[in-house]
Each structure stands twice: as structure tokens, then as C-alpha cells.
Amino acid sequence: MMLYPPFGGKTSYEKLAKQIHRSNYFKGRFFNTLPTSVSNGLGVTVSMMVKFIKGNPQGNPKEPLPVELVDPLFLKENQQDYVIWFGHSALLVVINGIKLLIDPMLGKSTSPFPFLGGKRYGRLPIEIENLPTIDAIILSHDHYDHLDYGSMLKLKEKVKHFFVPLGVGAHLERWGISQERITELDWWEEVIFQGLTLVCTPARHFSGRKFVDKEATLWGSWVISSEQTRLFFSGDSGYSPHFKEIGQKYGSFDMTLMECGQYDERWAGIHMYPEQTVQAQLDVKGKLMIPIHWGTFTLAFHDWTDPVERALKAAKEHDVQISTPRIGEIVWIRSSNYPVSTWWRELHRMN
């Protein structure tokens, strides 16, 4: 594990001890503010194996998803505020011309071994080589479907700075990114970057890239704001009171980027059901929500379209505005015109 680069680096507990300002760290491990567990044991393992062997005919799309290709020239020249979803939780956020990549898992597989693990449903809206200079990458945690070794190797010379939760910087340093380009934040810590305020806020999840480093690094959500624009990115999270705390301290938000997929009753504490996602949207006082963490990889047993269908239904019941862009489609921040097509249903009809 120490020799294989995709597993990442080893976190320095001595370094972390000097940076930690909150109480969710004890004896080399971070923990959630609410008791959080994932069901395990022999019975659970057997039931998951049975489900895995049986498979789900609707667990993957039958053909590649429709993707809006992104013009590299547009990315270089356009200075308006917008968001582009790259699939799963990967996003390009542009505010005041500042380009931020969030959780840019742009690889083909969510595994340290590319020939294993869930495969990407389709193509990217733009290849990494065609991206312009990126001002900063923001990471929520170190799981493989959010922090991808191959993507980072291709991106690291294009990116000026990296903002990560505590401990995650060790992985980036292992991959050749200097300490000077990495800022690690604890929950509720703020930093000013090129006129934007970035805040690492809580999430209810866990971390780890190998068997021996579970919860050795922090996980989080993020607030991104300028004088005119305020965004919230949920990261991976189970539902908990932290959403209301964030809403009270930093809301309301012009746009939220909210996890709504890869859930299961066995790990309900670390991933929200779509109905909880909509409640979290109300808690943080969000205006427009883009559901993320779906539509790219199969990492749970539900139908691949189940997250967005359930999110749409719950949003309608609670009068929540929701945008459902295709991968690569531009969503303008603070615009009353936003993508609302049910493009995945067209795909099902074609099949």
C-alpha cells in the first residue's frame, strides 16, 4: 500500500494536531458530530453479495448518456457566473471569472485499480487536456469517486491552488503537488481566495483510501461566496442538523449542489435519500438545487434514475426549485432560466 501511488500519502498526526480547532478529532481519527455507523456483519455481507450477484437490470443505462460538449474557448473567455456538471460530484464553478473545479473525478473507474470498480457511463464534456488554467480545486474528502489519482496527475500543472479538508493534502503531496499550493481547513474555517470566501463546513460521512487509514482525514462540505453570489456544495453526507447550522450561518444560497444518489438502508447514515436531500435544501435556505452524485457511476443497488426521479417528486411536494442539467450543460447562477428537462426519460423510451 505504501508503494502504490493511487493509495495516496500518509497523514501526519503531528501536523494535524497543530491545525485542529474543533473537537471532532481523537487519537488520530476524525468522527461525526452525530453517532454514525454503517451496517456490517455476516448477514449484511451475505445480503449484499446476493444483491451483487443477482444484479439490477436498471442499475446502469443501456447506452451512453447524452453529453453537452463544452467549448474550450467559452471557458477561457466567458466571465459570467455559471456551473457545469461533469457527472457524479465533479463540477466546474465559475464566479467573477474565477474557475473552481470541485471533486474532479474525471477518470473511468472509481477504483485504485482502473480495471476494477464501477465504470463511467459515458464520455466527459471536455477532456482534461482541453481545460484552461484552473484557479483552484476544492475537494470534499479522499474517497476514490471524489479524489482520483489519474485525474490529479493530469490536472496538477493546470491548477494554481488546492483547498482540502484536514489531512487530505498528504495525498496531493505524494502525487507531486507542493505544500505551498495546498490549503487544509478544519470545519468552519474560512479563507479568502482571489476575492472569494471559501468555508469548509461539516458533513456526515467518513474517509479513507486503504484498509488502515479509515477516518484519518477530514471530510466536509463547502460554502463558496462572493459579494453577489453564494453557493453550497454538500459533499457526501448523511442527513443531520449540520445543514440547518450552515443555513443559519451562511444562507441563503443562490444555488446548491446536493448529493442525492448512491444510498442504501445499510449506509443511510452517510448518504442521504433524495427526500432528505430536499429537506437539506430547505435547511440550508437554498434557492435552486442541482442534484449530484448520480448519473455517472453505479455505486449502490438502486435504479440509476431513481435518485433524480425521487428528488423531483420531493421537490415538487415541497415547492423547491430544482435544475436537472445534462452532463456538460451550462447552468447560469441567479438566472430564472435553468435546465429542467427529463432527459433520462427520453433515454429510457429509446430503449
- Read off the pLDDT of residues 232-291 as tens digits, 9 standing for 90 and up: 999 999 999 999 999 999 989 999 999 999 999 989 999 999 999 999 999 999 999 999
pLDDT band of 191, cuts 50, 70, 90: very high
Q: pLDDT value at position 56? A: 84
DSSP 273-320: -HHHHHHHHHHTTEEEEEEES-SS---SSS-TTHHHHHHHHHHHHTT-
Q: pLDDT value at position 116? A: 75
Domain ranges of the chain: 68-347
Contact of 217 with 30, CB cutoff 8 Å: yes
pTM for the full model? 0.94
CA angle at residue 273 from 267 to 274, to 5 degrees? 155
101-137 pLDDT per residue, tens: 999 999 999 999 877 777 899 999 999 999 999 999 9
Q: What are phi and psi of 148, to 5 degrees?
A: -110, 125
Tell me which amino acid residue 256 is.
Answer: T
Which range has the worst mean pLDDT, 57-61, 124-128, 134-138, 156-160?
57-61
Contact of 256 with 311, CB cutoff 8 Å: no
Tell me what the pLDDT averaged over the chain comes to: 92
pLDDT band of 16, cuts 50, 70, 90: confident
194-247 pLDDT per residue, tens: 999 999 999 999 999 987 888 999 999 999 999 999 999 999 999 999 999 999
The residue-averaged pLDDT of 82-100 equals: 98
Which range has the worst mean pLDDT, 39-43, 221-225, 235-239, 333-337?
39-43
Q: pLDDT value at position 8? A: 94
Q: Is 250 helix (H, G, I), strand (E, B) or coil?
A: helix
Q: Which of 273, 275, 280, 270 is nearest to 36 (CA)?
A: 270
Q: pLDDT value at position 168? A: 97
Query: Does the domain at residues 68-347 carry the CATH identifier 3.30.40.10?
Result: no
Q: Is 248 helix (H, G, I), strand (E, B) or coil?
A: helix
Q: Which of 291, 302, 274, 310 is nearest to 60 (CA)?
A: 302
| Distance from C-alpha of 209 to C-alpha of 189, rounded to nearest angstrom | 24
